[in-house]
């Protein structure tokens, strides 16, 4: 295959890819040659090169056409986000469920960091932390390298206030709990306070992160025997299923990376979860 076009090589070697799908994957940024993202379908490959294709949800969601118009249609289909706070150093965003927080190996487009950076006059955006695709709520991005350095250090030191609202399966025991179970070999602690009970069907809880590991709340609740309702990885079958993962990042607080002043931002529960909770309440009457 030395000298062959990249799209032809992908179609020949990756069972999931036709030549057309290979071109779309290249267009959205899901192909790497020797570790570098490549988007040129006609690029000739050479013996000894390592070619990687990240085939997943981004390709499934993408418009099956090429070019700027197709990618613009992809962007238009994304759920809208709200900027909750912004200055020259940071931007705090209320992310909807269904929108990626940052680029992945599958694509460098269609994520919140990319959309923020493409606003007129926005400049570069640094990803400080992430929340899951299926989770809604608050996260902060840096607008300068120094702000990114300071905020990243604060997140590593867990010097940030992060509170989530979750609805879990079953009757969560007691009114408060400290979930302490290592994740990925690293210390992980979640503080839980019960806010509302729906009989034996479900419990609304507030989760405060003492640490911030990947999928921490979802994994801790699952290990406690009360998985978050709507979790695609730990499926439950409630009588009234939620419209999506019942997890929302409601409170984000941190010291401003330049001035040191306290910043606390709150996000109301999104309408889809709020209306579902009303149905849960009605079912208990």
Q: Which residues are catalytic?
A: 132
Across 245-272, b (16+ Cβ under 10 Å) vs e yields: bbbbbbbbebeebeeeeebebebebbee
11 backbone φψ class: left, alpha, beta (φ>0; ψ -120 to 50): alpha
Give 87's DSSP letter.
Answer: -
Question: Alpha-carbon torsion 265, 257, 79, 116, what sign?
Answer: positive
> 33 in helix, strand or coil?
strand
Provide Rg for the chain, Cα atoms.
Answer: 21
How many Cα neighbours within 13 Å face the side chain of 4? Answer: 14
Q: Do the Cβ atoms of 212 and 243 come closer than 8 Å?
A: no
| Three-state DSSP class for residue 164 | strand
Q: Are strands 136-142 and 247-255 parallel, antiparallel or unpaired?
A: parallel
């Amino acid at each position: 295959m030395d000298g062959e076009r990249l799209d032809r090589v992908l179609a020949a070697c990756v069972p999931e890819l036709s030549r057309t799908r290979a071109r779309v994957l290249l267009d959205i940024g899901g192909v790497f040659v020797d570790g570098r993202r490549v988007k040129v379908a006609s690029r000739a490959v050479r013996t000894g090169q390592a070619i990687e294709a990240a085939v997943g949800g981004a390709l499934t969601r993408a418009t099956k056409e090429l070019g700027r118009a197709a990618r613009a249609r992809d962007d238009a289909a994304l759920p809208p986000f709200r900027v909750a706070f912004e200055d020259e150093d940071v931007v705090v965003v209320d992310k909807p469920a269904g929108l990626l927080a940052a680029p992945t190996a599958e694509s460098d487009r269609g994520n919140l960091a990319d959309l923020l950076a493409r606003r007129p006059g926005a400049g570069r955006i640094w990803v400080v932390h992430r929340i899951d695709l299926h989770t809604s709520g608050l996260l902060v991005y840096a607008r300068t390298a120094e702000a990114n350095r300071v905020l990243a250090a604060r997140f590593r030191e867990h010097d940030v206030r992060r509170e989530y609202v979750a609805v879990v399966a079953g009757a969560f025991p007691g009114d408060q709990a400290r979930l302490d179970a290592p994740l990925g070999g690293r210390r992980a602690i979640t503080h839980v306070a019960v806010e509302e009970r729906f009989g034996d069907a479900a419990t609304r809880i507030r989760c405060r992160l003492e640490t911030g590991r990947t999928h921490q709340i979802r994994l801790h609740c699952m290990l406690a025997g009360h998985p978050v309702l709507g979790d695609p990885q730990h499926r439950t079958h409630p009588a009234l299923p939620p419209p999506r993962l019942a997890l929302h990042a409601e409170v984000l607080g941190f010291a401003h990376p330049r001035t040191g002043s306290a910043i606390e931002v709150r996000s109301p529960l999104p309408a889809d979860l709020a209306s579902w909770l009303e149905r849960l309440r009605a079912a208990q009457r």
